[in-house]
Amino acid sequence: MRNLDPKRAKWIRFRMGLLCGTMSLGLGGFVSSAFRVQVEDGASWKETAENQRQRRLHVEPKRGAIYDRNGAALAASVEVPSISGDVVEMLRGIEGAPAQSVALQDLTVRIAAALRLDPADVHAKLTPKRRFVWLKRRVTAEEAQAVRDLGDPKKSMKPVKGLAVEGEGRRYYPGRDLAGALLGFVAPDGFGKDGLELSLDDELRGRAEEVRGLRDRSGRLIFSEGSTDESAFAGHDVQLSIDEGIQHVAERELTVAHGTYETKGASIVVLDPSTGELLAMASVPGYNPNDYGDSEPLARRDRAVTDRFEPGSVMKTFTVAAALASGSLTPNETIYCEHGSFKVANVTIHDTHENDWLTPTQVLAKSSNIGALKIGLNLGEPLMYAAYRRFGFGEPTGLPLPGEAGGVLRPRGRPWFEVETANASFGQGISVTTVQLAVAMGAIANAGKLMEPIVVRKVTDARGAVLKEWTPHVRREAVPASVAKTVAEMLTAVVEEGGTGVEAAMNGFRVAGKTSTAQKVDPATGKYSEDKYTASFVGFVPAEKPRLVIAVVLDEPMIGRYGGDLAGPVFRRVAEASLRYLGVPPTDGAPKIKNVTRSLDVADATISALKASAVLSGGSAASSASREGEAALARPPAPVGPPVASDVRVPDALGMGTHSAVRRVGSAGLVPLVEGTGRLVKQVPPAGTSAPRGSSVRLVFEPAS
């Protein structure tokens, strides 16, 4: 610089200063920008980078299981493969819309062939080019392997990227159609539909979890983070009061009755009167929740809680109980029954049999409408209505089941007129459900205490901790204990000789119950139908220390109509098998039924199935000790004998088809036992033989040659 011209040196220094200044400004700007990016805006830029690297995985928790009271699984979740796709990854490396369109067509054909899908449906799913799309859910093992082969370079010339085989929960019901209407089902989206699956969906489904995974530059998942404790968000388990063994026999017998008597539908409820726990609840026709798509909507209806019907003569039980509790009736009082015909206002009431003077016990045993209405009218409309409400009629029972009907006592809430009071006293003009009848009869069996019905015993989390628990609870006292015991003793006359429920009598146990044959209203005419009935029997056993309350309702039987003849045998067979299963010994001094072979053949076969079921499920109900029941009745039981009915002549049905032969034998008051199919070739006893009414006739059918 010293040898340079001063002017030139000055110019050089100026340029160097200018360059250094410019570089300093540039460096300052760069540092400032770096500070802003890394310090001031660092959090947002970090989030952007993480979002580009991360993939959010929506993990559905495992749905909780449903168990019976002994720990047998009624509903469980199993993992099955489902196929998802990342379309962006599939097309990675393919540039240009035309090339990608051709690639999508090729992918569509190959994926559709592997999953056995319509190519048009697959193309519609791939076209939006989403990062995640379900291609097919709950696939077979063969389809899952075919998808793996598509992405395996060793098995495919052009491996397909972006396909994933992911485990997904599927609901499985080990008992198939066992308690199907009660349990409901789970839709493919994981939400419960119908039954307990719907009402307890929040507890069973648990909470969904989001897990984040890191992707490399190829988009492959290389690391995931999130909750590693699956039990922290898994669904809760539910234990029911239902006993799988008793549920099995109840459904079996109800299905047999449904087929034999050709009913429109039927329902049954088995209840422990001392706790209010439901041991079985079934309705037919039923369905298999594993294949709910193959069933009709009507078959998925839980008739025991949703169907309302006029109860008929069963309500005479509660009318008599209310009158005894109020003091308007005494146990030994006699009621004049007008020789079978009585006019109230402008309506004439008839009895099935002509009666004159009857005691309250005889009114129940002979099911006299006139006797019941006179008791009801003497009691008065306000007291009878209040008594029905104390027994739980006119309101839902409170079970956690969707669609439960509360029944109807009064039209639009107004008081009954005189003729309506008379009709209500014997079960006309009001409506109830099967579970309401069981709960109300349970109050009679439980010394007048109306229990809160229980179907869910407890809810536990995945670690076994109890979250919710339902214990026996007395809702209120329906009638005093002394009245309940008196009515229970009266009801034993219903199944003794001369009563309407002799077919419900059991060997070794005293039965208390009430029959009902209720006419149904024809919607077209608004009047009572001449050929449509509801046949029912509601009772408990043993009468002295009740262990079971059983309500059987048969809707519109085509063969026969009387509740004692149709529903009574169902009650008997379910009670016989259930008491043996529970290990309840026969009662000392109980009647010995001569014609006991009418049901033991069915009961013994059912017991074998029940024991096998109990062993497989690990249940120990058969060995449980007997509970302490009610105190002994104040007065000794009246002597009873075998329920011998009047004899009838066996009709000739040889050569007839199954339907015609069963109808002919059933119309004669006999119980047909069907063997084989085709035309009737043999009947035992033969035609023309005299047989007790209600006894069995063996019908042997063979295919026509």
Catalytic residues: 313
For 321, the 3-state DSSP assignment is helix
Element (H, E) at 421: helix 418-425
Sequence-distant (≥ 6) Cβ neighbours of residue 323 within 8 angstroms? 329, 360, 375, 376, 378, 379
Say how far apart CA 41 and CA 33 lie, in whole Å.
10
Say how far apart CA 522 and CA 627 lie, in whole Å.
46
**Amino acid type, 578:** S
Q: Helices marked H in 477-595 — which ranges?
A: 481-492, 563-582
Place of tokens 């929740």: 289
Report which DSSP code applies to 175: T
Q: Helices marked H in 206-347 — which ranges?
A: 244-261, 303-306, 315-326
Say how far apart CA 100 and CA 98 lie, in whole Å.
5
Q: Helices marked H in 187-299 — which ranges?
A: 195-199, 201-205, 244-261
Hey, which residues does 701 pair with through a beta bridge? 680
Sequence-distant (≥ 6) Cβ neighbours of residue 637 within 8 angstroms? 489, 492, 510, 543, 544, 589
For 701, the 3-state DSSP assignment is strand
Are residues 580 and 509 in contact, defined by beta-carbon separation less than 8 angstroms?
A: no
Hey, which residues does 540 pair with through a beta bridge? 512, 549
Output the CA torsion 70→72→74→75 (10° steps).
120
